[in-house]
Structure 1
Amino acid sequence: MTTPWGEHALARFPEDPRDRLRAWDASDAYLLRHLAEEATDLSGTVVVVGDRWGALTTALAERAPVQITDSFLGQEATRRNLARDGADAGAVRLLTTQDPPPERIDVLLVRVPKSLALLEDQLLRLAPSVHPGTVVVGTGMVKEIHTSTLTLFERVLGPTRTSLAWRKARLIHCVPDPALERPANPWPYRYTLPEDVGVLSGRPVVNHAGVFCADRLDVGTRFFLRHLPDGAGARRVVDLGCGNGVVGTAMALTRPGAEVLFTDESFQAAASAEATYRANGAPGKAEFRVGDALAGEPAGSVDLVLNNPPFHSHHATTDAAAGRMFAGARRALRPGGELWVVGNRHLGYHVTLRRMFGECRLVASDPKFVVLRAVRR
């Protein structure tokens, strides 16, 4: 990536030579160009929110920015890109969306996320740290910035306008208004599950902002909850890509003697899973982990893995995450251990599972979804 401050070699994480997706886009380049052309004073506390793969943080490393992200993969990409760039990693603070933000922010740079709810939560959490002199600039591709995006900036921070488009990217300029009366933060959001989802019927769910389908139970998970295994004999169960944790919580309630590992690459998701688990008073042992699928889990240590894999990386459609999850599950499962997967019928996960496991059985299906079972031999 070429910037006004030089060139930077960047990669996504985990690195895959077959991956043609870049670690930056025109919105990152547009924001950096704007900062240079406007000679923006970057001597104070610079906060970069939602930096997807560390492009902005790496380019601004000499200004000692604070990065705030919901993504473990994005945070790891940032660490590696800083090292690749020869930057002083100690000068950059890497925070998550679950960490307290800096008390004072002089420059706030926001990479607009896919989730409007996550943007709302982030802006409301950061607003008390912003002062009248804070420079606030958002960035995103034209397709990512909507009227609702601008309304949110204006409602939480102050008067907002947009730039002209450049290479299908756009900037958001906001002037903080200290007299603005901000709304209360509605996140995390709590609701009650419907009565047709097995052991979790009528039970509470807690969602932090940005978690998939944060205000309702998505149809894929709903279908999965109706067809979960009984888990007989399973001592260690994994809710892989746990989201709000309803699948793992259902297994914890069904098999109180099992230890359940909830894992996701989203800090918001892991926090949601723990809150959902606690809200249901589930018995037994549970662990809540943020990471890259099952990397770090000992081989042969797991009896049952339950998975509803994502098939988007931000706005790009990709099966890379599902492939990593399936491979990680195969390695972590003991011989005879099972992987249960729910997915859209058209994604063809059965083909990948047969290649990895040697077999794949259809457990249940409807016109849109399938539940698949693969056994580790």
Structure 2
Amino acid sequence: MDTLTVPQGNFQLARFPVRNKETLRAWDASDEYLLHQLSEEGYPSHDSRVLICNDSFGAISIALADNLPTMQTDSFISQQATLNNLRINDLPESSVAHINSLTSLSSVLPKDAKFDLLIIKITKSLAQLEDQLQRLRPYLTAETKIIAAGMVKGIHTSTLQLFEKIIGPTHTSLARKKARLIFCQYDATLIPPENNYPKHYLLENTQYQITNHANVFSREKLDIGTRFFIQNMPANSHYRNIIDLGCGNGIVGLIAGEKNPAAKVHFIDESYMAVASAKENFGRAFPERSAEFIVTDCLKGVSDNSCDLILNNPPFHQQNTVGDFIAQQMFKESYKVLNKGGELWVIGNRHLGYHVILKRLFNNCETVASNKKFVILKAVK
């Protein structure tokens, strides 16, 4: 755990999930830059309505907790990180109001009220930013202070163009410690284009209409990894409960449900937009069929020894941090959740070496299928 020292105070902050011997901080240079800038300009005042978007581990929200901000994120993990960091700093959990990326902003504002201060951390997904700005615009005025922050490598001309196109005139700060700020002024006369999200397409070789919210991987078409996975989808009458872990738009679980009509499918992801997409897609495909949709961190809250088959395409990054730590967490928790004889099926790029981790955890691992890019592995409890 490290200490963030900014004009607003000194704060002990941890990443989430909390890991032993963590080497990465829970904030970056753009968080520090933004908090210093706000202090220099005297923002926010004590009665300001503050909205903070995409605060990865809650650094900004914790620093501004005295102002009772609202934090909007698509990430369950970001919410849990913020709650954990509030506890670490002996701040009431009620100091920060939490809403997800699909929650109507009118639910956190008095009638006809607008935000006085809007803070946005720039994410990797340009689509997510575009959708976000479209949803935010109705709750801004010319008096709203709008400031975004990110690392220089993540701010592009296309990023600034979105602010210009949807909100109004935009300029950037000088770079500091490889971080940059974006300043935007709301233009009431601007007529922004219609929101392009969610996206829709027909799943190839099926009649399934697929809906994808903005922060869902492979929004425009079926990606090659998922195509390979569903081409090798297992079917067995012994599967009664199937989990699509890290479900994204739910295509893997949807096809698993098609191949295993007697099974109940559980869709799990830490992204609210992903689970919402999966729910819409499965519900449209099988309107009379029961399924479960859960937003959580990996398999937290899922009962041990409760599942026969887990299907998993693990992410290999958290925000901008690349590694296999999420995959390892998914595999360990899958072992607990599976019944004896239950199966974990994993797809990944051939070079990632997931077979080594699976053999260590399950004492077995076999290759189900492979091609030049991907491998599908099966481990049995």
TM-score for the superposition, normalised by structure 2: 0.95
Q: CA deviation at 1:283?
A: 4.9
After superposition, give the CA deviation of every residue in 1:216-269 in whole Å (9 maximum; x if it has no partner): 212111110111111331110000000000000111122221111000011110
Percent identical residues: 46
Determine the structure 2 residue equivalent to 1:30. Answer: 33
Which residue, out of 84, 105, 118, partners 1:108? 118
Determine the structure 2 residue equivalent to 1:81. Answer: 85
Query: Are positions 1:12 and 2:22 aligned together?
Result: no
Determine the structure 1 residue equivalent to 2:171. Answer: 161
Which residue, out of 130, 136, 143, partners 2:146? 136
Taking the aligned partners of 1:282 and 1:230, their CA distance within structure 2 comes to 21
After superposition, give the CA deviation of every residue in 1:92-129 in whole Å (9 maximum; x if it has no partner): 21111021114421100000111011111111111000
Taking the aligned partners of 2:118 and 2:298, their CA distance within structure 1 comes to 31
4+ runs deviating over 4 angstroms = none
Kindly indicate whether the alpha-carbon contact (under 8 Å) linking 1:62 and 1:87 is maintained by their aligned counterparts in 2. no
* 1:11 counterpart letter in structure 2: A
Aligned residues: 371
Taking the aligned partners of 2:220 and 2:91, their CA distance within structure 1 comes to 40
Task: Name the SS for the 1:17 alignment partner.
Answer: coil
Query: Are positions 1:354 and 2:355 aligned together?
Result: no
Classify 1:41/1:339 alpha carbon distance in 2 versus 1 (closer, same or farther; 3 Å). Answer: closer
* 1:226 counterpart letter in structure 2: Q
Query: Are positions 1:71 and 2:75 aligned together?
Result: yes
Task: Name the SS for the 1:131 alignment partner.
Answer: coil
Task: Name the SS for the 2:291 alignment partner.
Answer: strand
Q: CA deviation at 1:20?
A: 1.5
Query: Are positions 1:53 and 2:63 aligned together?
Result: no
Taking the aligned partners of 1:231 and 1:117, their CA distance within structure 2 comes to 38
* 2:62 counterpart letter in structure 1: T
Kindly indicate whether the alpha-carbon contact (under 8 Å) linking 2:44 and 2:67 is maintained by their aligned counterparts in 1. no
Taking the aligned partners of 1:296 and 1:165, their CA distance within structure 2 comes to 42
* 1:50 counterpart letter in structure 2: N
Query: Are positions 1:288 and 2:293 aligned together?
Result: yes
Determine the structure 2 residue equivalent to 1:239. Answer: 244
After superposition, give the CA deviation of every residue in 1:13-32 in whole Å (9 maximum; x if it has no partner): 11002331211000100000
More moved, 59-68 vs 84-93: 84-93
* 2:142 counterpart letter in structure 1: P
Task: Name the SS for the 1:132 alignment partner.
Answer: coil
Taking the aligned partners of 1:71 and 1:356, their CA distance within structure 2 comes to 28
* 1:147 counterpart letter in structure 2: T
Classify 1:223/1:282 alpha carbon distance in 2 versus 1 (closer, same or farther; 3 Å). Answer: farther
After superposition, give the CA deviation of every residue in 1:273-320 in whole Å (9 maximum; x if it has no partner): 101112212653200000011111111100000000000111211111
Classify 1:41/1:73 alpha carbon distance in 2 versus 1 (closer, same or farther; 3 Å). Answer: closer
Which residue, out of 332, 345, 363, partners 1:327? 332
Taking the aligned partners of 1:56 and 1:231, their CA distance within structure 2 comes to 49
